[in-house]
Amino acid sequence: MVLVGPTLTHSTQAAHDAGTIKQINADMSFTLMTADGKLVRFQCSASCKTALGHMMRHRNENAHTDVYYVAEANDTFLALDVD
């Protein structure tokens, strides 16, 4: 599978995860539950922060959410795009 859009926007360094948003914190970090039941915590980048309304709707509706991110130091995942 080729992720053309995210690759063009975020480079080949971007990884992908999918699931449902379970929590959004005041600092804009959020927790995603993946299809296999794993909870993953992401920090929002500046571009992710512009999607707060969209993220809240996904959380409220328990909607499928795609997250494109980069792994940073100390097992921190920086969300670049949330849809």
In angstroms, the CA 39 to CA 33 distance is: 5
Each residue's pLDDT tens digit, 43-74: 999 988 888 999 999 999 999 999 999 999 88
Closest among 56, 27, 55 to 43, alpha carbons compared: 27
Each residue's pLDDT tens digit, 17-44: 999 999 999 999 999 999 999 999 999 9
Q: Which domain holds residue 70?
A: 15-82
Is residue 5 assigned to a domain? no
Inter-residue contact 54 to 66 (CB < 8 Å)? no
In angstroms, the CA 57 to CA 21 distance is: 10
Is residue 46 assigned to a domain? yes
pTM (predicted TM-score): 0.84
Is residue 54 assigned to a domain? yes
